[in-house]
Amino acid sequence: MKQIFTTITAICLSLAAFSAQPTRTITGNITGTANWTADTLYTLSGKVYVKTGATLNIAPGTIIKGDTSVPGSALIITRGAHIYAVGTADRPIVFTSSASKGNRKSGDWGGVVIAGNARINIAGGTAPFEGGNLANPDGTTSDGEYGGLNDLDNSGELKYVRIEFAGFPYQTNNELNALTLGGVGSGTKLEYIQCSYGFDDAFEWFGGTVNAKHLIAFRGNDDDFDTDFGYRGKVQFGLVIRDTAIADPVSGANGFESDNDATGTGNNPYTSPVFSNITLVGPKQTASTTISTSHRAAAHIRRNSRESIFNTIWMGYARGMKIDGDSCHTSADSNKLQLQNNVLAGTASTGLLMDSTAGATWGITNWFTQTANANTIYSLNTDVMLTDPFNYTAPNCKPTSASPMLAGASFTNSKLDPAFFTTVNYRGAFGTDDWTATWANWNPQNEAYTIGYGVTPASIGTAKLNLPLHVYPNPANQLLQVNFVTTGKQEATITLLNINGQVMAIQNSKSVEHNVAFNTYAIPAGFYMIQIATAQGVQFEKVQINH
């Protein structure tokens, strides 16, 4: 028996590519309460709707894949439903393509859609989502709509979440985004979210009031932060990294794009979000860098939008700031649209543009650079003095110790609500700390994404442990609970193994009293082994799964 235990331990520690991992295909509607856990791989086959009144809980480390064999597979959180996808820095939740390692591409699946009951500025107060008809095939048309009257609406929480290779094009110039937010209210929490290789926008807000912090838009195809139809939320700390060759040839790609609505009406509520401390790294590292001709502006504010941006860095864009239309320039003059304490670097001669009948006389350069706005223009990207911002595989966008970005931020403007915005001295997304560390991924194309992804096994001692171990129920038919206590706070790796030593599920815990749960829903009935591994040694417990 000792030899069997030794063999099992060696197999587990190798973390090789294991077969027979628990998988579960999700289709149709989710009602009631659903719990998705890291011991199962989930595949979204077609459009999956979390229905009104239902709650979807997703545990740290869970991997969800959009099925590429069913065009436009997506997860849609309908109005009145909730999603709680709360990962950790060590174990983010990952939504990605079902394509194999090395074969994923933008637009492989539809992405994540959240619909809320907050106000939008479309006549009637509700609207169907862009990206084709998302009405539920069960006949519930409202499942594909967003908007309402409750600006405090709560759709749940996303934290430490990655969304990759999403944004399916249902029709030409009519696509879902990596994360699509329609009428989402301020009761919803969004923090630490990375959208990578999206076919359309990384983040698009259609009205609503939801706030967000720590967002990453990485090598997307279209716009990075797109706001319209009356979005009025607040966003702080964001990173954009553009690829030289990737840009939407139909609409062109901007860092920020903002409209009040599609035709620039004066419909209320106005699109008037407030952004602060964003670092946008465009595609053009130097004047001689060749980039796609579809790259557009660092920010294009148009169609009567009143978007305001503070303490932000734009660098390396084909075009810089573009204020488009007389309505926007009028809003700028009346301080409804404000750009203050920002930095624009490394753009061509078209760094500041004004498209309107008054453009020639209004003078966007004079407005942008006036003393009261405290914006700065640098000729070169190197003047900003970030550490390594144009490195696609290991970007470091922290300022160097000599960078002028470490100072110059201001939070005195009344738009910068102190109840939400964190007061910092630095401009851009980073000071001396890198909040992307551990959870962000700069090479998702080459991740295997099997069970146990993100788990770093605890160092394992050679002794045989004798911990007070409680595994229940045993036999188990759905949730298998594991509880044990260590001497002092310790890191432990808890692994569910089959009789051939294959890893069926794996979790980490760092505590004195360790409590983990394995979802055995998709695991075949039979006998298995729980392995507890710490720096002191290893312990095993035989378990049985019945269905």
Considering the domain architecture, whether residues 538 and 389 belong to the same structural domain is answered as no
Considering the domain architecture, whether residues 382 and 523 belong to the same structural domain is answered as no
Q: Classify residue 250 by burial, with Cβ atoms within 10 Å: 0-12, 13-18, 19+.
A: exposed
User: Among residues 492, 242, 226, which one has the least CA distance to residue 390?
Assistant: 242
Question: Three-state SS across 488-529?
Answer: EEEEEEEEEEECCCCEEEEEEEEEEEEEEEEECCCCCCEEEE
Inside any domain, residue 31: yes
Q: Determine the pLDDT at residue 196.
A: 98
- The pLDDT tens digits of the residues spanning 235-254 come to 999 999 999 999 999 999 99
Domain boundary among 391, 413, 446: 446
CATH number of the domain encompassing residue 541: 2.60.40.1930
- The pLDDT tens digits of the residues spanning 352-387 come to 887 766 656 678 888 999 999 999 999 999 999 999
pLDDT at 3 over 50: no
Q: Determine the pLDDT at residue 352.
A: 87
Considering the domain architecture, whether residues 159 and 207 belong to the same structural domain is answered as yes
Mean pLDDT of 199-213: 98
Inside any domain, residue 414: yes
Considering the domain architecture, whether residues 503 and 398 belong to the same structural domain is answered as no
Inside any domain, residue 453: no
Antiparallel, parallel or unpaired: β 74-77 and 111-115: parallel
- Using an 8 Å Cβ cutoff, are 505 and 496 in contact? yes
Q: Determine the pLDDT at residue 365.
A: 86
Q: Determine the pLDDT at residue 357.
A: 64
Inside any domain, residue 222: yes
Distances from the Cα of 463 to the Cα of 237, 466, 468, 508, 514, angstroms: 46, 9, 16, 20, 19
- The pLDDT tens digits of the residues spanning 45-90 come to 999 999 999 999 999 999 999 999 999 999 999 999 999 999 999 8
- The pLDDT tens digits of the residues spanning 265-284 come to 999 999 999 999 999 999 99
- The pLDDT tens digits of the residues spanning 9-22 come to 444 444 343 445 78
Instruction: Give me the half-sphere count of Cα atoms (radius 13 Å) on the Cβ side of residue 440.
Output: 25
Considering the domain architecture, whether residues 270 and 134 belong to the same structural domain is answered as yes
3-state secondary structure of 115: strand
- The pLDDT tens digits of the residues spanning 24-40 come to 999 999 999 999 988 89
Work out the pLDDT band at 428, boundaries 50, 70, 90: very high
Residues 332, 334, 336, 340: what is their CA dihedral angle, to the nearest 10 degrees? 60
The Cα–Cα gap between 452 and 440 comes to 17
Q: Determine the pLDDT at residue 311.
A: 99
Mean pLDDT of 408-418: 98
Q: Determine the pLDDT at residue 15.
A: 39
Inside any domain, residue 299: no
Distances from the Cα of 109 to the Cα of 159, 272, 410, angstroms: 21, 30, 40
Domain boundary among 386, 416, 446: 446
Considering the domain architecture, whether residues 384 and 524 belong to the same structural domain is answered as no
Q: What is the mean pLDDT of the chain?
A: 92
Indicate the number of domains in the chain.
2
Q: Partners of 277 in the beta sheet?
A: none
Considering the domain architecture, whether residues 520 and 401 belong to the same structural domain is answered as no
Domain boundary among 412, 446, 480: 446
Considering the domain architecture, whether residues 248 and 164 belong to the same structural domain is answered as yes
Inside any domain, residue 455: no
User: Among residues 213, 214, 218, which one has the least CA distance to residue 241?
Assistant: 218
Amino acid in the structure at residue 447: E
Considering the domain architecture, whether residues 363 and 472 belong to the same structural domain is answered as no
Inside any domain, residue 269: yes
Between 5 and 111, the higher pLDDT residue: 111
Q: Determine the pLDDT at residue 8.
A: 44
- Note the Cα 156 to chain centre separation in Å: 14
pLDDT at 503 over 50: yes
Instruction: Give me the half-sphere count of Cα atoms (radius 13 Å) on the Cβ side of residue 446.
Output: 3
Antiparallel, parallel or unpaired: β 174-175 and 169-171: antiparallel
Amino acid in the structure at residue 547: H
- The pLDDT tens digits of the residues spanning 166-184 come to 998 877 667 899 999 999 9
- Using an 8 Å Cβ cutoff, are 30 and 476 in contact? no
Inside any domain, residue 81: yes
Stated as kind and residue range, the H or E segment containing 236 is: strand 234-241
- The pLDDT tens digits of the residues spanning 468-487 come to 999 999 999 888 999 999 99
Considering the domain architecture, whether residues 510 and 371 belong to the same structural domain is answered as no
The Cα–Cα gap between 145 and 180 comes to 12
- Note the Cα 336 to chain centre separation in Å: 29
- The pLDDT tens digits of the residues spanning 110-127 come to 999 999 999 999 999 999
Considering the domain architecture, whether residues 381 and 504 belong to the same structural domain is answered as no
Q: Determine the pLDDT at residue 131.
A: 63
Considering the domain architecture, whether residues 257 and 130 belong to the same structural domain is answered as yes
3-state secondary structure of 544: strand
Q: Partners of 491 in the beta sheet?
A: 510
- The pLDDT tens digits of the residues spanning 525-537 come to 999 999 999 999 9
State which residues form the domain around 520.
463-545
